[in-house]
Amino acid sequence: GKYFSVAGGAGRWKFWGTVYRNISKGTREQWREAMGIDWMLRSELTQAIPPAYTEYIGKKLMAAIEKAGD
């Protein structure tokens, strides 16, 4: 499937020769879909932790806490 680098700047235009090209590596809508986040601005998405990854980390943390309590 497709993947996107959602990091760094929120989209830039770079001058190559006689044309400007968008080097943002995907649209805001593509970023939102890939990350499972539909409520953030493009600039916010570059700093966000996807909910699916947050859930994964949370489950690992809870398992470690429960194990430490045994």
Residue ranges of the domains in the chain?
13-69
Instruction: Tell me how far apart the alpha carbons of residues 48 and 69 are, in angstroms, rounded to a whole number.
Output: 31
Residues 6+ apart with CB under 8 A from 27: none
- Compute CA 21 distance to the chain's CA centroid, rounded to the nearest angstrom: 22
pLDDT tens-digit profile of 3-49?
777 876 655 555 556 655 555 577 888 889 989 999 998 888 888 99
Task: Measure the CA–CA gap between 32 and 53, rounded to whole angstroms.
Answer: 14
Split at pLDDT 50, 70, 90, the class of 2 is confident
Size of the chain in residues: 70
- Residue 58 scores a pLDDT above 80: yes
User: For residue 48, what are its two tokens?
Assistant: 């966000």
Reported in sequence order, the residue ranges of the chain that DSSP labels E, i.e. its strands, are 13-16, 19-22
Note the pTM of the prediction, 2 decimals. Answer: 0.63
